[in-house]
Structure 1
Amino acid sequence: MIKHDQMVICWACSGKVKMDSLGSFDDRRIAMHSSKMIRRLVTTVALALMIPVHTAIAAEEGATIPSVLGSMQEHAEQIVGRLLATDGPASREQYQQLRLGVNRLHQLITSDPSNDRHSRELIMIYSWMRVIDIEITDKSWVEAAIAANQLSGMIIQALDFPTMTQRDVAWMDYLAREMELLTLEDPVANADLLSVRLLTLENTWGRVREVLIQHFKNKPLLLQGDTLVIKLKASTTPAETVALAKQLLDFIDLVEKAE
């Protein structure tokens, strides 16, 4: 189901929407995208299942759905950097790594027909992979990076993290990339979406902050995180927003090490 006026896509075949602490704008079944990405996804969802699966590639011994998703999450993050560097060969290499992950995931999921939740997620993974492929072919690097980040966000939602804080930190990483990518694509057309992302980022940081504040050693991180969020809210130019989003990504790396 698509609501173009609200720039909202409900995951097809989801059955129902599940709200969680990530917020109603960023739950397991709803994601907001720029208008261009919506149009692209509409035309590719129907083609998603046409992506060939190389059944000759056997799932690695001992591989599990969480381990494969975790590996795909890493490659989804890495391909964003390759795409923004307009490095076509390196982007394709990362894309092929993602394809291998999709193939392994397909085998694991289809071996258990009762796994309805992951079957639906696989459909959407195929969809985003198709979008990434099309955008790379068109050399639409930023648009391809946005699609890769959406894939990353979807995987984060699908993974079961040991703690909610780890999940929130991963979500902050996704949101910081969204701030950077949507600004690079079109800060005017994406203004409303950027506002939503910023609000979600602020709320997510608030939860992470409540955990970090329990240890005095984390005081420098608290001050740095607060400052970055305040500066992002006060940002008045696209260049400033992009620069701050990059700083936030570096900051999130520090938070991950502190956990």
Structure 2
Amino acid sequence: MSILSGFLYPPPPSAIITAMTAISSGALVYFGLSEAWGKHLQYSKFWNAGSGPSGEQIRVSSRVGMLLLYTPALAAAAVAFAVPAVVADDRCRLLALALALHFFKRDFEVLFIHQYSGNMILDSVIPITLSYFTGTVCMIYAQYLTQGMPGPKLDLKVAGEVFFLVGITGNFYHHYLLSKLREKGDKTYKIPKGGLFGLVICPHYLFEIIIFIGFCLISQTLYSFLFALGTLWYLMGRSYATRRWYLSKFENFPKQVKALIPYVF
């Protein structure tokens, strides 16, 4: 904790943030382990990979489901600009702007970039939606509670802006590459190519992690730090499962391509 205190604000005296820090981190770790163990949230290529019947569960179109994932978090970040105390504080304002841009980009991709091949189960949509929404609200609220506290010894706002811009650009670019794999109406899966796909099968996840590191460095709160760690853990599990899926479906999948981190994992 003495090391963390050099670049994090002291934890605020808030039972809500303390509880949500534990809940959010624990949930992301659980879902990351579940993905790695083969118990998937049922969307995308893992639609039929999860255990248990899904015939009687409520389904929504993939486009609607994806909008449900991101729009509440976008709304939460946008509403924060109506709070004078948020707008008046540099870190609060910058964090809310970065969160709003991230989820606006995700909604833009849902509407104009992504190609869809099926439906989503509502039971899988709800926990992800809640995670993004509560994560956004709690990051901004935790930042708001730092007002009047002594700042960290290292001011990492600028580094956070750089990480965020690199992450959001790389994430968008690799989502664009994924969207170009299939022609309209084509529902077959292909091995992605271009960008960092020659090194890892999930570069879009890698850049999403960089985005959340950006949030953490802009914010420098314990909540944003642990949420970024939880996101890293979840996407490690998700990327591991994705690589395993490609290995099972494509005999010619290049074995040197890692899951998430080039040459490492």
Give me the TM-score of the superposition, normalised by structure 2.
0.31
User: Which of the two has higher C-alpha Rg?
Assistant: 2
Bigger RCO (CA 8 Å, 6+ sep) = 2
